[in-house]
């Protein structure tokens, strides 16, 4: 099936761009510059629905792509920056062929372990953390582009060196670049007048929301009750429910349902497994309950959506 979902590792991307990655780096980090034939090689993978196992920053210096992230469409043009977090399902579904020979992208991909070892303050980095779920892309101005290029040039220069501290050096550069990107990204969200998600709330509240969303991402196909997540977080369901709504503006069950619906859509669109197996995989008691749940959220039956 052409639309079958692919699981992509950092190592898979390294194989496509072998001359750009640096021989001393393991499969938990990749920085690669992609032009023309390189872009064609990358697109041969990314034009299929895929789930990348790392955090990724894609910097478009020239050219244009249209990408689909969790079934939402985004245009990536000159000076655009796209962020990916592990678990997202995305694909490149449109390329401006007239600009293919001039295309110029830089990809920076890191595993969770690589970033965790850098000891970055993720809450400070992305203060309104859930905004990244809805705003994975922004466009740089010329001054911002110049600073990003300096970071990337320095990172590329380090990968060309034979140095026992290369990983530590790269972690420092990437951490600094991400702090800068986070500030730029947040400012653009504020300028776009996005809804306030609780910027005055406590650090603890934001961390608890992060923990809740990570647990939902892990267990949504098995557990849909707030009691389960509250128990995992050593909180009462009432307290957790109130906190989630105050911080995010959405209730806990709404977040859980959104993850379940997205997973159901991806299974229907990117796999050919029977619907009755999807019902089983997502732990619905029977097909009738699943059909009712899916239609109430999408206005379509699973069969209609799959067509």
Task: Work out the pLDDT band at 126, boundaries 50, 70, 90.
Answer: very low
Q: What is the pLDDT of residue 50?
A: 81
Joined tokens for residue 123: 């809450």
Are 87 and 184 in a shared domain? yes
Residue 155 lies in a domain: yes
Residue 1 lies in a domain: no
Are 28 and 139 in a shared domain? yes
Distance of CA 169 to the CA centre of its chain: 25
Q: What is the pLDDT of residue 132?
A: 56
Q: What is the pLDDT of residue 100?
A: 74
Could you tell me the CATH number of the domain that includes residue 141?
Answer: 2.60.120.10
Residue 198 lies in a domain: no
pLDDT tens digits along 233-260: 999 999 999 999 888 888 999 999 988 9
Residue 89 confidence (pLDDT) above 90 = no
Are 156 and 234 in a shared domain? no
Final residue of a domain: which of 145, 171, 191?
A: 191
Final residue of a domain: which of 164, 191, 218?
A: 191
Q: Name the residue range of residue 224's domain.
A: 203-306
Lowest mean pLDDT among 16-25, 85-94, 122-131: 122-131
Residue 196 lies in a domain: no
SS3 content of the chain, % helix, strand, coil (to 5): 55, 15, 30
Residue 197 lies in a domain: no
In angstroms, rounded to a whole number, what is the distance separating the alpha carbons of residues 21 and 23?
Answer: 7
Higher pLDDT, 152 or 182: 152
Q: What is the pLDDT of residue 199?
A: 47
Q: What is the pLDDT of residue 130?
A: 47
Residue 261 lies in a domain: yes
Are 89 and 231 in a shared domain? no
Are 55 and 138 in a shared domain? yes
Are 140 and 275 in a shared domain? no
Are 217 and 263 in a shared domain? yes
Could you tell me the CATH number of the domain that includes residue 301?
Answer: 1.10.10.60
- Average pLDDT estimate for 282-290: 94
pLDDT tens digits along 11-66: 888 877 755 555 556 678 888 888 766 666 676 777 777 888 788 888 988 888 88
In angstroms, rounded to a whole number, what is the distance separating the alpha carbons of residues 2 and 163?
Answer: 43
Report how many domains make up the chain: 2
Are 174 and 218 in a shared domain? no
pTM confidence score: 0.65
Task: Work out the pLDDT band at 278, boundaries 50, 70, 90.
Answer: very high
In angstroms, rounded to a whole number, what is the distance separating the alpha carbons of residues 10 and 50?
Answer: 12
What b/e sequence results for 139-165 when a residue is b if at least 16 CB atoms lie within 10 Å of its CB, and e otherwise?
ebeeebbeebeebbeebeebbeeeeee
| Mean pLDDT, the chain, integer | 80
Residue 236 lies in a domain: yes
Are 167 and 211 in a shared domain? no
Are 177 and 208 in a shared domain? no
Residue 207 lies in a domain: yes
SS3 68: strand
Are 181 and 216 in a shared domain? no
Are 130 and 237 in a shared domain? no
Final residue of a domain: which of 138, 171, 191?
A: 191
């Amino acid at each position: 099936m052409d639309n079958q979902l692919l699981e992509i590792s950092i190592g898979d991307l390294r194989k496509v761009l072998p001359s750009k990655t640096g021989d001393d780096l393991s499969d938990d980090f990749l920085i690669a510059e992609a032009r023309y034939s390189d872009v064609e090689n990358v697109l041969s993978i990314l034009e299929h629905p895929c789930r990348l196992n790392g955090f990724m920053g894609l910097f478009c210096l020239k050219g244009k792509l249209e990408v689909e992230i969790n079934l939402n469409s985004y245009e990536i043009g000159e000076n655009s920056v796209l962020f990916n977090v592990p678990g997202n399902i995305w694909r490149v579904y449109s390329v401006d062929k007239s600009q293919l020979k001039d295309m110029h992208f830089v990809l920076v991909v890191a595993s969770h372990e690589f970033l965790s070892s850098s000891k970055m303050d993720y809450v400070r980095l992305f203060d309104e953390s859930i905004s990244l779920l809805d705003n994975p892309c922004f466009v740089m101005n010329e001054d911002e582009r110049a600073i990003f290029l300096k970071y990337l040039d320095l990172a590329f220069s380090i990968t060309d060196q034979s140095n026992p501290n290369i990983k530590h050096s790269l972690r420092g550069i990437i951490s600094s670049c991400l702090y800068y990107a986070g500030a730029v990204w947040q400012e653009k969200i504020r300028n776009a007048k996005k809804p306030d998600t609780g910027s005055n709330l406590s650090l603890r509240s934001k961390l608890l929301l992060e923990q809740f969303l990570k647990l939902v991402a892990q267990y949504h196909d098995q557990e849909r009750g707030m009691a389960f997540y509250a128990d995992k977080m050593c909180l009462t369901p009432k307290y957790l429910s109130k906190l989630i709504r105050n911080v995010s503006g959405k209730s806990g069950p709404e977040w859980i349902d959104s993850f379940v619906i997205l997973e159901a859509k991806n299974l229907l669109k990117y796999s050919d497994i029977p619907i009755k197996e999807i019902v089983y995989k997502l732990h619905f008691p029977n097909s009738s309950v699943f059909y009712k749940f899916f239609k109430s959220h999408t206005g379509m039956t699973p069969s209609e959506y799959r067509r």
